């Protein structure tokens, strides 16, 4: 059974003006997501700025999320690393904190061969019992996990159950789903590909858009799952200008900017990420108004 089906949010990590984690705001954001019908919280994934969180802060954010959600919806913690030992440590710690699953990005910067990826993910998975979702995002990591590699992992490692596919390559996604013979839970990792991914057997999305539009994102997914493909496609197309604005700079700069424009008070970004450029602030404001969020 899939960890979740529907719309999961890749939640931002809110900060105070002094760049410490704002746990009161974190609780507010989580409650807003649950009220909006979000099906899962993906905490400290790429959108949650894990690269600039210390490991103690990283795990404290996970701990607080588990406490706030209190089993109402699944929690998936981002615990990937370009160090296998670090990924093992963070993943085992997250399991002990009570998450429902973990999201493991492919190793970045030092990269790996495809055989190295198999060894890396197999070793991490062997240390825990909870289900794991792979995360393929070549634009951020400089490394593409091939369909054959995903199929090998899914067929040989029992608790590797899914993938967040942010490859942007629909043909590759289709090939991967063919190779996996129905054993892979597929989630769109790109908000501009939600309906297309659903057409290839996707279970849903792990979404940046959900930070500002949880109900709309969920309806896009659920319309498809209910068989109303036309409505899902229409919602996808209508959201495209806002989605483009949300990626006008590297994620999560634009989404945090959008949330602050909307008065959600999620605070600044930790360096080296910078605040949204002035011209993009105006773009974001226009698209939020057009989409009915301002």
**Digit-coded pLDDT (tens) for 68-88:** 999 999 999 999 999 999 999
| Domain count along the chain | 1
pLDDT tens readout for residues 6-58: 999 999 999 999 999 999 999 999 999 999 999 999 999 999 999 999 999 99
Q: How far apart are CA 156 and CA 139, in angstroms?
A: 27
Domain boundaries, position 82 = 6-228
Is pLDDT at 138 greater than 80 in this prediction?
A: yes
In a domain, 54, yes or no: yes
* Token digits of residue 11: 């939640």
pLDDT tens readout for residues 232-288: 999 999 999 999 999 999 999 999 999 999 999 999 999 999 999 999 999 999 999
| Predicted pLDDT of residue 235 | 98
* Segments in 129-228 forming alpha helices (H): 138-141, 147-156, 170-180, 194-199, 214-225
In a domain, 175, yes or no: yes
Give yes or no for a contact between 188 and 147, defined as CB atoms under 8 angstroms apart: no
Domain CATH number, residue 23: 3.20.20.70
Q: Mean of the pLDDT values across residues 151-163? A: 98
pLDDT band at 99 (very low <50, low <70, confident <90, very high): very high
User: Cα dihedral sign for 190, 193, 194, 199?
Assistant: negative
| Predicted pLDDT of residue 47 | 98
In a domain, 121, yes or no: yes
pLDDT band at 1 (very low <50, low <70, confident <90, very high): confident
| Predicted pLDDT of residue 116 | 98
In a domain, 177, yes or no: yes
In a domain, 252, yes or no: no
Give yes or no for a contact between 173 and 165, defined as CB atoms under 8 angstroms apart: yes
In a domain, 280, yes or no: no
In a domain, 244, yes or no: no
C-alpha atoms less than 13 angstroms from C-alpha of 85 in its C-beta half-sphere: 0
Q: Mean of the pLDDT values across residues 80-107? A: 98
**CA proximity to 196, closest of 177, 216, 173, 175:** 173
| Predicted pLDDT of residue 147 | 98
In a domain, 55, yes or no: yes
Catalytic residue list:
135, 164
| Predicted pLDDT of residue 280 | 98
Is pLDDT at 212 greater than 90 in this prediction?
A: yes
| Predicted pLDDT of residue 119 | 98
Main-chain dihedrals φ then ψ at residue 198, nearest 5 degrees: -60, -35
| Predicted pLDDT of residue 122 | 98
CB within 8 A of 230, min separation 6: which ones? none
* Number of residues in the chain: 294
């Amino acid at each position: 059974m899939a960890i979740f089906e529907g719309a999961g949010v890749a939640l931002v990590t809110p900060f105070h003006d002094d760049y410490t984690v704002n746990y009161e705001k974190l609780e507010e954001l989580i409650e807003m997501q649950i009220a909006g019908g979000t099906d899962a919280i993906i905490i400290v994934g790429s959108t949650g700025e894990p690269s600039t969180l210390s490991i103690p802060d990283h795990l404290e954010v996970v701990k607080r999320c588990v406490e706030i959600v209190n089993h109402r919806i699944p929690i998936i913690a981002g615990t990937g690393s370009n160090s296998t030992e670090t990924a093992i440590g963070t993943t085992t710690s997250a399991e002990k904190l009570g998450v429902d699953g973990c999201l493991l990005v492919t190793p970045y910067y030092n990269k790996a061969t495809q055989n190295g990826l198999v060894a890396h993910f197999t070793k991490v998975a062997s240390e825990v019992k909870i289900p794991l979702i792979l995360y393929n995002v070549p634009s951020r990591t400089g490394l593409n996990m091939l369909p054959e590699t995903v199929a090998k992992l899914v067929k040989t490692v029992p608790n590797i159950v899914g993938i967040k596919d942010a490859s942007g390559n629909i043909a590759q996604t289709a090939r991967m789903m063919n190779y996996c013979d129905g054993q892979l839970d597929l989630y769109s990792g790109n908000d501009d590909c939600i309906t297309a991914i659903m057409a290839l057997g996707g279970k849903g999305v792990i979404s940046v858009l959900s930070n500002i539009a949880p109900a709309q994102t969920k309806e896009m997914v659920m319309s498809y799952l209910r068989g109303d493909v036309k409505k899902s496609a229409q919602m996808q197309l209508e959201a495209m200008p806002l989605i483009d604005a949300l990626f006008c700079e590297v994620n999560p700069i634009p989404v945090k900017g959008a949330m602050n424009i909307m008065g959600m008070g999620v605070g600044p970004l930790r360096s080296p990420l910078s605040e949204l450029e002035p011209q993009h602030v105006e773009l974001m404001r226009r698209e939020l108004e057009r989409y009915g969020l301002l």
